[in-house]
Structure 1
Amino acid sequence: MARGKKIYEGKAKILFEGPEPGTIVQYFKDDATAFNAEKKDVIDGKGVLNNRLSEYFMVGLNQIGVPTHFLKRLNMREQLVRSCEIIPLEVIVRNFAAGSMSKRLGIEEGTQLPRPIVEYCYKDDALGDPLVTEEHIAAFGWATQQDMDDILGLALRVNDYLSGVMYGVGIKLIDFKIEIGRVYEGDFQRLVVADEISPDSCRLWDIETGQKLDKDVFRRDLGSLTDAYAEVARRLGVMPKNSGPSKPTLVN
């Protein structure tokens, strides 16, 4: 399938015009970044794994009635998605304290929270994606109150789905972030889960051992990032159980 001209290149993906109006081709890169791109590397096979894992999660969400921008996977590194207007927020759902929450509030990593906590960050790399409140969001017109109600509902439904899927394969969903986009159909607007859902955007710990199976492996120099992501893919059945971690063979 032919892709059009490049629209945008981010830290982990490149977006191209799609073959039909209202579509985009999303290409997954092997680049890994952390600490607002202060730490960088190229991890062979990372883009392939994230493409397939994001497909797995987006298809699963679509099947349970949670709308996403995902249309279909095109090849090992590309997927076709619906064009949407991204709301400039990172929506973070936390089930256990970790990362910046632990640093901000002095809570030991791994502490279970009394309930899922939803946080919002303003998407701006130059500012370090600062934490914002619903007051900021309303005051600056990034989203309406109805949007925020819908975003909260979507985020908690994604959390229910991901938590269940991960628990079923022995993985604890610590936290994750998603982006939300607006899709326009005539005069009608609806919100969809956009961007990607992958170990790049989730914290995933093995339930038994606490082993990290997410981008913290790269952030904290804990071993092979590809091995960690491949382990998640194997457990979910996206990769054959007997495949070697260095050169992933993905299930069609």
Structure 2
Amino acid sequence: MARRRQLYEGKAKILFEGPEPGTLVQYFKDDATAFNAQKKGTITGKGVLNNRISEYLMTRLMEIGIPTHFIRRLNMREQLIREVEIIPLEIVVRNVAAGSLSTRLGIAEGTRLPRSIIEYYYKNDTLNDPLVCEEHITAFGWAATQDLDDMVALALRVNDFLTGLLLGVGITLVDFKVEFGRLYENDEMRIVLADEISPDNCRLWDSKTGEKMDKDRFRRDLGKVEEGYQEVARRLGILPEAGVRDLKGPEMMQ
């Protein structure tokens, strides 16, 4: 396998130099973390499944005109993506009360919210990704007002589309987290969807039973974590034909 220069390693993915200028190779790991990496583990085959699920969802979103950094899947664990300047914010869209929203506001988990709620979190592991408001974002220069408006508009479009798509296969989109980046092309800048969309950053519940099929199974020690991810892929019709198997990662240049 070709030797590539590693540029960055995060909790769930590794970024390598791409084959052409302005591109990167995104490698999906099986590593799992929760509570800002206070809990760590491995979910066998997670990287393969997240690669396939994210490819599918990103592709479907691009079909309705949502710009993303995704170019194409390279193999079982890797994607070719456009290099973007990541905006240090996590945009969270909530449709049903769960997780930190339930804890902070005392709303019973599973309560349908009166409308979709958007929250902003500052991407900073040292500070545990704190909840912030628009005033923080614009005052500290993390994003301009127009950039933020673009991100919110795109996040709501993602929510509308994925809610319907997933409901069609019996899955409730409880909430999800997305990230955006600035893509510079032809002396112009535009905001595009980045990172991934998978059970790692979405809460996905069975529409009839409420059974969790996302990383909450790992966070809460519910067991059958791999099976939850596999069920999402199965319902979307993209579970690898031969099942989930491991794939050796690319060689790294020191």
| Contact in 2 for aligned 1:151/1:180 (Cα 8 Å) | yes
| Contact in 1 for aligned 2:170/2:207 (Cα 8 Å) | yes
- Aligned positions, number: 245
- Describe how 1:45-56 pairs up with structure 2 within 5 A: 45-56=45-56
Matched, 1:10 2:6: no
- Give, as a single letter, the amino acid of the residue that structure 1 aligns with 2:209: T
Q: Deviations over 1:26-71 (max 9, x none)?
A: 0000001111111111121010000000001100011110000000
Q: 2: CA distance between counterparts of 1:217 and 1:46? A: 13
Q: 2: CA distance between counterparts of 1:98 and 1:119? A: 13
- Give, as a single letter, the amino acid of the residue that structure 1 aligns with 2:244: P
Q: 2: CA distance between counterparts of 1:131 and 1:175? A: 16
Counterpart of 1:22 in structure 2 is 22
Q: 2: CA distance between counterparts of 1:178 and 1:231? A: 22
Q: 2: CA distance between counterparts of 1:168 and 1:153? A: 23
Counterpart of 2:200 in structure 1 is 200
Note closer, same or farther for the CA distance 1:107–1:3 as it changes in structure 2 (3 Å cut).
farther
Structure 1 unaligned segments of length 5 or more: list them: none
Deviation at residue 187 of structure 1 after TM alignment = 2.1
Counterpart of 2:252 in structure 1 is none
Counterpart of 2:180 in structure 1 is 180
| Contact in 1 for aligned 2:49/2:239 (Cα 8 Å) | no
Counterpart of 2:231 in structure 1 is 231
Q: 2: CA distance between counterparts of 1:138 and 1:38? A: 30
Structure 2 unaligned segments of length 5 or more: list them: 246-254
| Contact in 1 for aligned 2:163/2:173 (Cα 8 Å) | yes
TM-score, normalised by the number of residues in structure 2: 0.94
TM-score, normalised by the number of residues in structure 1: 0.95
- Give, as a single letter, the amino acid of the residue that structure 1 aligns with 2:37: A
Q: Deviations over 1:154-176 (max 9, x none)?
A: 00000011101110000000000
- Give, as a single letter, the amino acid of the residue that structure 1 aligns with 2:5: K
- Give, as a single letter, the amino acid of the residue that structure 1 aligns with 2:83: S
Higher relative contact order (CA 8 A, sep 6+): 2
- Give, as a single letter, the amino acid of the residue that structure 1 aligns with 2:40: K
- Describe how 1:57-206 pairs up with structure 2 within 5 A: 57-206=57-206
Q: 1: CA distance between counterparts of 2:187 and 2:18? A: 23
Large movers: runs of 4+ above 2 Å: 1-4
| Contact in 2 for aligned 1:3/1:19 (Cα 8 Å) | no
CA RMSD after TM alignment: 1.3
Secondary structure at 2:143 match in 1: coil
| Contact in 2 for aligned 1:176/1:202 (Cα 8 Å) | yes
Q: 2: CA distance between counterparts of 1:155 and 1:64? A: 13
Deviation at residue 2 of structure 1 after TM alignment = 4.2
- Give, as a single letter, the amino acid of the residue that structure 1 aligns with 2:97: A
Q: Deviations over 1:120-165 (max 9, x none)?
A: 0000011100000000000000111110110110000000111011
Q: 2: CA distance between counterparts of 1:221 and 1:4? A: 36
Q: 1: CA distance between counterparts of 2:68 and 2:204? A: 22
Single out whichever of 219-228 and 65-74 deviates more from structure 2.
219-228
| Contact in 2 for aligned 1:2/1:19 (Cα 8 Å) | no
Q: 2: CA distance between counterparts of 1:201 and 1:27? A: 16
- Give, as a single letter, the amino acid of the residue that structure 1 aligns with 2:120: Y
Matched, 1:212 2:208: no
Q: 2: CA distance between counterparts of 1:147 and 1:171? A: 31
Deviation at residue 3 of structure 1 after TM alignment = 6.0
Note closer, same or farther for the CA distance 1:167–1:85 as it changes in structure 2 (3 Å cut).
same
- Give, as a single letter, the amino acid of the residue that structure 1 aligns with 2:116: P
Matched residues, percent identical? 69
